[in-house]
Chains A and B, each alone.
Chain A
């Protein structure tokens, strides 16, 4: 029997588990729709904030041996403008049966709530809250994602204005990712995306004798992140029963199956689009189907979280 790649993510039916990750191909309706047409199970828009941001100068995104490093700096046109992009995107994706996930961020819980209200007008299927950015009310600008209390505040603020599916995107840069997840769950989260980029890290050019990124430091993604993402998803799903979009370094059907076995319901794909483009979705689906057939797995739900023993 042909293995079934379909998954149910918080009540949404996805044709396959592969989700275009936030910040990848995500600045225009046309590119998001193209990802859906090319075989993504769901697509995530680029994170937007109430106030538009220009982002950092180049070099801002670079390939390296382990994947990518980026300091795009959350460049975005603002949530009011993004709402129009999301509306066009949703119009293109609905007929394909591909859900749209709208990503937001802010500097304060109130900014998150206002961004959520704006993007909600475009009726995305999920709002994903990127909490990896600095909390401007914290004396040291510690990211919300590293502080269970702050993560709960943001979640509660968005929950108060938005009754739809609410996912919190977690950072791997904390020794206690389950504590952050639990706090967000108690504040009303319906699920998680785990993880955002790791680090920050740095690349140095030995001739220039300086960091390459204009921002000097940036987030690490791609294959280097996979073992960390697997551990994070494993810990979160061991502690909580909410669905997780496992994200980080997925570039093969093998990595995808590992992530499902760690406990993920859906699978975020970002850096793997480098070089390969949206053709990566067909390849990942084909590889996963072949592996499932070889392992005698008819549906992913059979092995979800099986690594927990």
Chain B
């Protein structure tokens, strides 16, 4: 390990994500698998895990919920961010037809997956959901990377009126693999509704993290550590514990 722990990167572009947050494009690279994350530090504020929505250059999609995400959303081009990583295991590309289901800031972890899938000429259909149209994230980005992009909102302000899972249900038989990231209630519902002959399903989990490298145990989900064994898991591996998270 080098003497410097963090890579410091400069914000080069800031995209507003509705009323909920921002996507920051940085000037550095952290080559990684889709679904891997970095520990992002704003000195004097906090350090927390964020999915790498892109790796060359690094991109972060941030939903503003607390002090660190507030500080990140307030950054402008020219400002600095500190990152260590990439950590964890990402999504495997499985089969030819990938169904991507994202809720809220969960879209972040599907972005690099869609980009890699496109690179390999795989078919991608994406369903993004949120409570309301202004809370959708990365729809602008996913549009170019998906053959089909469908939006669902709980209040019907955009696209399908209802949950993203209901919207995606009709495309399940099409898929060779399903990839989901979003609120844990959504992932639990997805796990519960799975049929025995369903295609493999990968979910990306969030837990409170300290080390990010599989030492402290803070991020456990059953016997699994989200930072080291995950954050992407085959859904069967964690189904029994979905809903126990408290991020």
Contact = CB atoms under 8 A, between A and B. Distances in A.
Residue of A62, A270, A273, A275 with highest tally of chain B CB at under 10 A:
A62
Interface string B153-186: 0000000000000000000000000000000000
A25 B5 contact: no
A275 B213 contact: yes
Nearest to B48: A58
B5 A212 contact: yes
Interface stretch (B25-33, B136-144, B214-222): B214-222
Interface string A253-273: 000000000000000001101
A24 B6 CA distance: 23
A52 to B, nearest CB: 15
Contacts of A84: none
A65 B223 contact: no
Tell me what chain A mostly uses at the interface: helix, strand, loop, or mixed.
loop
B228 interface: yes
A203 interface: yes
Tell me what chain B mostly uses at the interface: helix, strand, loop, or mixed.
loop
Size band of the A side of the interface?
Answer: 35 or more
B217 A26 contact: yes
A253 to B, nearest CB: 21
Interface stretch (B38-46, B102-110, B114-122): B38-46
Contacts, number: 101
Interface stretch (A10-18, A30-38, A108-116, A147-155): A30-38
Contact of B43 (A26, A210, A274, A275): A210
B207 to A, nearest CB: 11
Nearest to B228: A277
Size band of the B side of the interface?
Answer: 20 to 34
Contact of B5 (A31, A57, A203, A210): A203
Interface string B212-236: 0111111010110100110000000
B82 A207 contact: yes
B211 interface: yes
Given A61-B211, A70-B216, 13 more contacts: A25-B214, A25-B215, A27-B217, A34-B223, A58-B39, A58-B41, A58-B209, A59-B39, A59-B41, A60-B211, A208-B82, A273-B214, A275-B213
| Pairs A-B, 4 closest by C-beta atoms | A61-B211, A208-B43, A30-B223, A58-B47
